[in-house]
């Protein structure tokens, strides 16, 4: 099914008209969250400086530490001299100042605070260097082959590069598996230190784009203006990555163009059998039937013109012989739009059915004979 979704994503890219949408940025990508399908790509594997968009990985590792129980939003973190020395975007932490992880995470998401990013990194891994090792390891796990991280902030460093493609991958991982991050990434204005420190989101999409959910801006003199912008409408969330735009306004204009293109042209559809899947007979099993279930891939990303014309057919084996393992293939649900097959979703055994033993068979035969006497 993963191969099917990858193929679907590739077909969607190939089917995109070159003139349908374009952006000024030299590198960009538009991805749908649920399927990972790419709807637009431009020099998406070019290795470029990401500036503070780097912090998506810092945020991801922080959320993974929180969701795993390693720490919590209420964990108190003490700022080190190293964290306070970052410069750039910051909330001016003082050495030994204490804040909760939740407060620091908010500062990273809303105002791209370098000092808080490093303080979180040091708390999780013991040092920023150790945290960077974790960042690169996680990047490798996500298939981010264009990426090398040198720090937790995105401040200029030789060899610190990634790509629009890789940014989309880590953005997707964050918003798909840690949706609670929205409590920070959707904040437009807030404060810290009892109202003494005002926060205004660097991401203008949050204020001005309908459905915006995040995610992270970035800028340095060498990286120029970068953005991973996310938005959700009608149950579909899109990720627009912009790299090295000439101005801040242009990056937001480009991101809005990509997001609006995606929402206008595509729809995410949940596929469920039109009629419930009936139990299949099992021969030589400890029970007479096995319940089929639909396998992974019940979410399809389709052009809107096709989404309203879907039809489905179910093809299943008439019976199956035990032993049956949960997940064994029993058939396929084929989804079509006109004459085009848009998906083939496997139908799987939803439970295990062991093979009946000789003793169990004898007992069953005797019971049937007794009942019929």
Which of 33, 42, 55, 106 is catalytic? The answer is 55
Omega prior to 218 cis, within 30 of 0: no
In this structure, are residues 353 and 290 in contact, taking their beta carbons and an 8 Å threshold?
A: yes
Question: Of all helices (H) and strands (E), which one includes residue 13?
Answer: helix 2-14
Q: First and final CA of the chain: distance in angstroms?
A: 51
Q: What residues does 343 pair with on adjacent strands?
A: 335
> Does residue 112 have an active-site annotation?
yes
Which of 27, 33, 52, 228 is catalytic? The answer is 52
**Alpha helices (H) along the chain:** 2-14, 55-67, 81-84, 101-111, 114-125, 128-141, 164-177, 182-185, 205-208, 248-265, 304-307, 358-372
Cα distances (Å, whole numbers) of residue 60 to 51, 100, 153, 215: 16, 17, 13, 12
Which of 27, 80, 89, 112 is catalytic? The answer is 112
> Does residue 228 have an active-site annotation?
no
Mind giving me the DSSP string for 178-201?
A: -GGGHHHHT-SEEEEGGGTEEEE-
Residues annotated as catalytic (active site), given as ranges: 52, 55, 112
């Amino acid at each position: 099914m993963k191969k099917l979704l990858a193929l679907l994503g590739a077909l969607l890219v190939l089917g995109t008209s070159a003139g349908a949408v374009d952006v000024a940025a030299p590198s960009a990508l538009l991805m749908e969250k649920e399927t990972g399908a790419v709807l637009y790509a431009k020099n998406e594997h070019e290795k470029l400086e990401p500036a503070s968009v780097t912090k998506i990985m810092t945020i991801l590792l922080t959320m993974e530490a929180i969701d795993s129980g390693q720490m919590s939003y209420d964990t108190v973190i003490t700022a080190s001299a190293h964290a306070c020395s970052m410069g750039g975007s910051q909330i001016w932490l003082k050495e030994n100042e204490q804040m909760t992880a939740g407060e620091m995470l908010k500062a990273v998401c809303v105002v791209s605070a370098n000092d808080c990013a490093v303080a979180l990194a040091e708390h999780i891994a013991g040092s920023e260097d150790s945290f960077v090792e974790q960042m690169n390891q996680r990047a490798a796990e996500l298939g981010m082959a264009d990426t090398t991280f040198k720090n937790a902030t995105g401040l200029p460093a030789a060899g610190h590069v990634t790509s629009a493609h890789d940014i989309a991958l880590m953005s997707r991982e964050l918003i798909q598996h840690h949706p609670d991050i929205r409590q920070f990434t959707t904040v437009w204005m807030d404060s810290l230190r009892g109202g003494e420190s005002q926060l205004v989101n660097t991401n203008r999409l949050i204020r001005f784009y309908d459905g915006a959910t995040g995610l992270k801006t970035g800028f340095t003199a060498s990286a120029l203006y970068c953005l991973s912008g996310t938005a959700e409408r009608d149950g579909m969330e899109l990720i627009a990555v912009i790299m090295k735009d000439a101005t801040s306004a242009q990056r937001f204009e480009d991101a809005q163009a990509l997001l609006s293109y995606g929402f206008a042209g595509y729809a995410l559809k949940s596929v469920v059998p039109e009629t419930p899947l009936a139990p299949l007979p099992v021969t030589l099993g400890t029970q007479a039937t096995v319940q089929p279930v639909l396998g992974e891939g019940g979410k399809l990303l389709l052009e809107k013109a096709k989404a309203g014309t879907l039809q489905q057919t179910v093809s299943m084996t008439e019976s199956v012989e035990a032993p049956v393992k949960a997940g064994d293939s029993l058939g396929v649900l084929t989804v079509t739009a006109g004459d085009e097959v848009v998906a083939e979703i496997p139908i799987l055994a939803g439970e295990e059915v062991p093979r009946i033993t000789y003793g169990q068979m004898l007992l069953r035969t005797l019971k049937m004979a007794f009942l019929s006497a």
